[in-house]
Chains A and B, each alone.
Chain A
Amino acid sequence: MRTIIIRLIHSIQISLEAESISPDKFAPLTLSQINALEIWQGNRKMKLEDFFQVDGDEGSAKTEDMFVRLEGDFSRIKRLVEGMSNGIVEVYGNVGMHAGAKMKGGILRIMGDASDWLGREMQGGKITVSGNVGNYAGSGYRGEKCGMRGGEVEIHGNAGALLGEHMCGGSIFVHGDVGDFPGSLNQGGTIIIGGSTYLPGAEMGNGTITIKGPARLLPSYQQLEIVDIEGIKYRKYVGDLVENGKGELFLAEAQSS
Chain B
Amino acid sequence: MIIRGGIIYDPTNGIFGEEMDLCIEKGRVVEDAKGEEIDARGLLVMPGGVDAHSHIAGGKVNTGRIMRPDDSRSGVEPRTRVCRPSTGYTVPNCYAIGYRYAKLGYTTAFEAATPIISARHTHEELEEIPIVDKGALTLFGNNWQVMESVRDKDIAKLSAFIAWGLRAARGYGVKIVNPGGGEAWGFGSNVKGIHDTVPNFDITPADIIRGLAQANEMLRLPHSIHLHFNNLGKPGNYATAIETLELLKDIKPSRMRQVVHVAHMQFSAYGGTSWRDFESKAPAIADYMNQNSHATMDMGQLLFGSATTMTADAPLEYSNARLTHNKWSNLDLELEEASGVVPMIYFRKALVNAIQWAIGLELALLTKDSWKVLMTTDHPNGSPFVNYPEVISLLMSKPKRDAEMATLHEQVSKRTVLANVDRELDWGDITVMTRAAPARVLGLEDKGHLGIGADADIAIYDLKPEDVDPSMDYQLVKKAMATTKYTIKSGLIVAKQGEILAVPEGRTYWVDASVPKADMDRLMIDLNEKFEKYYSIRLSNYMVQDAYIPNPAVIKAGLELESGSLVKEVA
- A145, B324: Cα distance in complex, Å: 12
Which residue of B is nearest A140, CB measured?
B70
Number of A-B contacts (CB under 8 A): 19
Q: Which of the residues B70, B78, B79 comes within 8 Å of A143, measured between beta carbons? A: B70
B305 within 8 A of A: no
- A141, B79: Cα distance in complex, Å: 23
- A75, B78: Cα distance in complex, Å: 24
B69 within 8 A of A: yes
- A85, B287: Cα distance in complex, Å: 51
Q: How far is the CB of B512 from chain A (nearest CB, A)?
A: 41
- A45, B79: Cα distance in complex, Å: 11
Residues of B within 8 A of A145 (CB): 70, 326
Interface size class of A (residues with CB under 8 A): under 10
Interface size class of B (residues with CB under 8 A): 10 to 19
Which residue of B is nearest A146, CB measured?
B70
- A45, B78: Cα distance in complex, Å: 10
Which residue of B is nearest A243, CB measured?
B325
The digit string for B58-92, where 1 denotes a CB below 8 A from any CB of A, is 00000000011111110000110000000000000
- A40, B71: Cα distance in complex, Å: 21
Residues of A within 8 A of B73 (CB): 141
Residues of A within 8 A of B78 (CB): 40, 43, 45
Q: How far is the CB of B93 from chain A (nearest CB, A)?
A: 15
- A143, B69: Cα distance in complex, Å: 5
- A143, B71: Cα distance in complex, Å: 8
- A216, B270: Cα distance in complex, Å: 51
Residues of A within 8 A of B71 (CB): 143
Q: Which of the residues B67, B70, B326 comes within 8 Å of A141, measured between beta carbons? A: B70
Q: How far is the CB of A154 from chain B (nearest CB, A)?
A: 27
- A141, B68: Cα distance in complex, Å: 11
- A143, B326: Cα distance in complex, Å: 11
Q: How far is the CB of B233 from chain A (nearest CB, A)?
A: 22
Q: How far is the CB of A71 from chain B (nearest CB, A)?
A: 29
- B interface majority secondary structure: helix
Which residue of B is nearest A45, CB measured?
B78
A140, A141, A143, A145: which has the most chain B beta carbons within 10 Å? A143
The digit string for A34-58, where 1 denotes a CB below 8 A from any CB of B, is 0000001001010000000000000
Residues of A within 8 A of B70 (CB): 140-145
Q: Which residues between 297 and 333 of chain B lie within 8 Å of chain A, taking CB atoms?
A: 326
- A141, B74: Cα distance in complex, Å: 12
Residues of B within 8 A of A141 (CB): 69-70, 73
Q: Which residues between 21 and 44 of chain B lie within 8 Å of chain A, taking CB atoms?
A: none
- A153, B75: Cα distance in complex, Å: 28
B69, B70, B72, B73: which has the most chain A beta carbons within 10 Å? B70
Q: How far is the CB of A220 from chain B (nearest CB, A)?
A: 18
Residues of A within 8 A of B72 (CB): 143
Residues of A within 8 A of B79 (CB): 43
Q: Which residues between 1 and 57 of chain A lie within 8 Å of chain B, taking CB atoms?
A: 40, 43, 45
- A83, B445: Cα distance in complex, Å: 50
Residues of B within 8 A of A40 (CB): 78
- A145, B70: Cα distance in complex, Å: 9
- A23, B271: Cα distance in complex, Å: 52
Residues of B within 8 A of A43 (CB): 78-79
Q: Which residues between 121 and 172 of chain A lie within 8 Å of chain B, taking CB atoms?
A: 140-145
Q: How far is the CB of A215 from chain B (nearest CB, A)?
A: 28
Q: How far is the CB of A15 from chain B (nearest CB, A)?
A: 16
- A141, B326: Cα distance in complex, Å: 16
- A45, B73: Cα distance in complex, Å: 19
Q: Which of the residues A45, A140, A143, A144 comes within 8 Å of B67, measured between beta carbons? A: A143
Which residue of A is nearest B66, CB measured?
A143
Residues of B within 8 A of A45 (CB): 78
Which residue of A is nearest B72, CB measured?
A143
Q: How far is the CB of A142 from chain B (nearest CB, A)?
A: 4
Q: How far is the CB of B347 from chain A (nearest CB, A)?
A: 13
Q: How far is the CB of A17 from chain B (nearest CB, A)?
A: 11
Q: How far is the CB of B327 from chain A (nearest CB, A)?
A: 8
Which residue of A is nearest B326, CB measured?
A145
Residues of B within 8 A of A142 (CB): 69-70
Q: How far is the CB of A82 from chain B (nearest CB, A)?
A: 12
- A52, B326: Cα distance in complex, Å: 44
- A191, B481: Cα distance in complex, Å: 47
- A21, B79: Cα distance in complex, Å: 23
- A40, B77: Cα distance in complex, Å: 12
Residues of B within 8 A of A140 (CB): 70
Q: Which residues between 461 and 497 of chain B lie within 8 Å of chain A, taking CB atoms?
A: none
- A239, B78: Cα distance in complex, Å: 44
Residues of A within 8 A of B68 (CB): 143
- A141, B71: Cα distance in complex, Å: 11
The digit string for A205-220, where 1 denotes a CB below 8 A from any CB of B, is 0000000000000000
Which residue of A is nearest B68, CB measured?
A143
Q: How far is the CB of A246 from chain B (nearest CB, A)?
A: 14
Q: How far is the CB of A139 from chain B (nearest CB, A)?
A: 12
The digit string for B165-191, where 1 denotes a CB below 8 A from any CB of A, is 000000000000000000000000000
Residues of B within 8 A of A143 (CB): 67-72
Which residue of A is nearest B85, CB measured?
A43
Q: Which residues between 68 and 123 of chain B lie within 8 Å of chain A, taking CB atoms?
A: 68-73, 78-79
Which residue of B is nearest A205, CB measured?
B325
Which residue of B is nearest A40, CB measured?
B78
Residues of B within 8 A of A144 (CB): 70
Which residue of B is nearest A142, CB measured?
B69
Q: Which residues between 396 and 425 of chain B lie within 8 Å of chain A, taking CB atoms?
A: none
Q: How far is the CB of A47 from chain B (nearest CB, A)?
A: 16
Which residue of B is nearest A144, CB measured?
B70
- A45, B69: Cα distance in complex, Å: 24
- A117, B212: Cα distance in complex, Å: 54
- A144, B69: Cα distance in complex, Å: 8
Q: How far is the CB of B494 from chain A (nearest CB, A)?
A: 24
Q: How far is the CB of A88 from chain B (nearest CB, A)?
A: 28
- A24, B310: Cα distance in complex, Å: 39
Q: How far is the CB of B395 from chain A (nearest CB, A)?
A: 32
- A142, B73: Cα distance in complex, Å: 9
Residues of A within 8 A of B (CB): 40, 43, 45, 140-145
19 A–B contacts from the bound complex (CB under 8 Å): A40-B78, A43-B78, A43-B79, A45-B78, A140-B70, A141-B69, A141-B70, A141-B73, A142-B69, A142-B70, A143-B67, A143-B68, A143-B69, A143-B70, A143-B71, A143-B72, A144-B70, A145-B70, A145-B326
Please name 12 further chain A to chain B contacts, defined as beta carbons within 8 Å, in addition to the given A43-B78, A143-B67, A143-B70, sorted by A numbering: A40-B78, A43-B79, A45-B78, A140-B70, A141-B69, A141-B70, A141-B73, A142-B69, A143-B69, A144-B70, A145-B70, A145-B326
Q: Which 5 A-B pairs have the closest CB atoms?
A: A143-B70, A143-B69, A142-B69, A144-B70, A143-B68
